[in-house]
Amino acid sequence: MSVGVRSTRRRLFADGGYDPRRGRLKADGPETEEPGVFHRSVRAVLSRGNDGVTFIEVTTVVLMIGVLLAIGIPSFLGAKARAHDRSAQSSLRIAITNAKAIYADTDSYAKVTLASLKAAETGVVFTNGPSTKPSVVSMQTGTAGIVFAAESATGTCYVIGDAANAAGTVFGSLGSASCDASTVPPMPTSVPTALHISSGGGWAQAW
């Protein structure tokens, strides 16, 4: 490179018109960049120094947390209760399915015993006494039909029965009473009119 070219570049650089790192002339001195929204926000926060947050900001956060808790906690508790009820109902469905299988072989619910049910299903505990939890199923059987009862962790006693007649499989609830199949009302002789169980009790076509 000639001495004249180097001299020219030195003069341009000294005047702020040439940037040797970019290898080109500067149009109007050093380049500037307009700060974006994020940069302006950060700058505003940093400019506050040690002032901290305001009372309004704290109040807003607390209110938002309160709203989320008010919405989330009841939903969680409701889902938990439904899960407990489904657990008891699942045990009853398993029990009635096995009872119907034995009935199909013997043509009588009187042949459905604790021993035969225990041999058919090991995941559920069968008893002639009251149910105390979802996995313990109370049983009452005879020539007229069979009834099972299981207590949910919520304290509600669910029942299911089948009389091998026109009523078919029926569903009910004893509420918070002792969950004993021997205390269940007599099963209907026809299909119940109620589609689902109610707080008033009685048999229905489904829980």
- 37-91 residue pLDDT tens: 556 655 655 565 556 668 887 888 888 888 888 887 777 777 888 999 999 999 9
Question: Is-contact 109 141, C-beta < 8 A?
Answer: yes
Name, in order, each residue with C-beta under 8 angstroms of 98's C-beta and a sequence gap of 6 or more. Answer: 117, 120, 121
Separation of alpha carbons 92 and 31, rounded Å: 78
Separation of alpha carbons 188 and 177, rounded Å: 21
In this structure, the answer to whether residues 76 and 5 fall within a common structural domain is no
In this structure, the answer to whether residues 82 and 170 fall within a common structural domain is yes
Task: Quote the number of domains for the chain.
Answer: 2
In this structure, the answer to whether residues 4 and 96 fall within a common structural domain is no
Percent of the chain with pLDDT over 70: 73
171 within domain boundaries: yes
Mean pLDDT of the chain: 80
Separation of alpha carbons 117 and 101, rounded Å: 10
48 within domain boundaries: no
HSE (side-chain half, CA atoms, 13 Å) at 57: 4
In this structure, the answer to whether residues 7 and 81 fall within a common structural domain is no
In this structure, the answer to whether residues 170 and 81 fall within a common structural domain is yes
In this structure, the answer to whether residues 80 and 172 fall within a common structural domain is yes
In this structure, the answer to whether residues 80 and 159 fall within a common structural domain is yes
Question: What integer pLDDT is reported at residue 177 of this predicted model?
Answer: 85
Question: Is-contact 171 159, C-beta < 8 A?
Answer: yes
In 87-189, beta strands by DSSP E: 125-127, 136-142, 145-151, 157-162, 169-175
The residues facing 81 across adjacent strands are none
Question: What integer pLDDT is reported at residue 12 of this predicted model?
Answer: 45
Range of the domain at 170: 56-183
Is the pLDDT assigned to residue 30 strictly greater than 70? no
Separation of alpha carbons 197 and 89, rounded Å: 13
194 within domain boundaries: no
188 within domain boundaries: no
Q: What is the pLDDT of residues 169-185, one digit of tens each?
A: 999 999 988 999 999 98
CA 117, 119, 120, 124 torsion: positive or negative?
positive
Higher pLDDT, 122 or 15: 122
44 within domain boundaries: no
115 within domain boundaries: yes
In this structure, the answer to whether residues 25 and 60 fall within a common structural domain is no
139 within domain boundaries: yes
Separation of alpha carbons 177 and 44, rounded Å: 65
In this structure, the answer to whether residues 77 and 23 fall within a common structural domain is no
In this structure, the answer to whether residues 8 and 96 fall within a common structural domain is no
193 within domain boundaries: no
In this structure, the answer to whether residues 6 and 86 fall within a common structural domain is no
Question: How far apart, in Å, are the Cα atoms of 75 and each of 63, 70, 81, 88?
Answer: 19, 9, 10, 21
